[in-house]
Amino acid sequence: QVHLVESGGGLVQVGGSLRLSCAASGRTGSSYGMGWFRQAPGKEREIVAAISWTGDNAYYADSVKGRFTISRDNAKNTVYLQMANLKLEDTAVYYCAFSWEGILAPGPDYWGQGTQVTVSS
């Protein structure tokens, strides 16, 4: 019912910046939450950031707080993740998520395909 397409991943050096985009299509309706997760090899998938429909409520993992910014454009059904001052530990596959009830709870209803972000020294 909902399809998520991510873009913007790539290779950057420590301290660099990158912006990820995720466009939702299909029968999205309205008043849905969106967010970003990431997963490094051998590790569990973890929440990075989430944002409410209005943009008034945002959540950030402690590891990215102050460095990453989540935003959305509802006219385009798109969520963004602006990543700054990137660190080696930010290297992971980043997944876009969509939820009709809540990204944090009860959890995502749809997932993107994932986009690789690699931070090198």
| 60 — pLDDT class (breaks 50, 70, 90) | very high
d(CA 53, CA 70): 12
Question: Does residue 39 contact residue 25 with C-beta atoms inside 8 Å?
Answer: no
Tell me what percent of the residues of the chain surpass a pLDDT of 70. Answer: 100
Burial category of 68 from C-beta neighbours within 10 Å (exposed 0-12, middle 13-18, buried 19 and up): buried
DSSP lists the bridge partners of residue 118 as 11
For residue 58 the two structure tokens come to 């945002």
| 110 — pLDDT class (breaks 50, 70, 90) | very high
What is the tens place of the pLDDT at every residue in 2-54?
999 999 999 999 999 999 999 999 999 999 999 999 999 999 999 999 999 99
pLDDT of residue 28: 93
pLDDT of residue 121: 94
Q: What is the mean pLDDT of residues 77-97?
A: 98
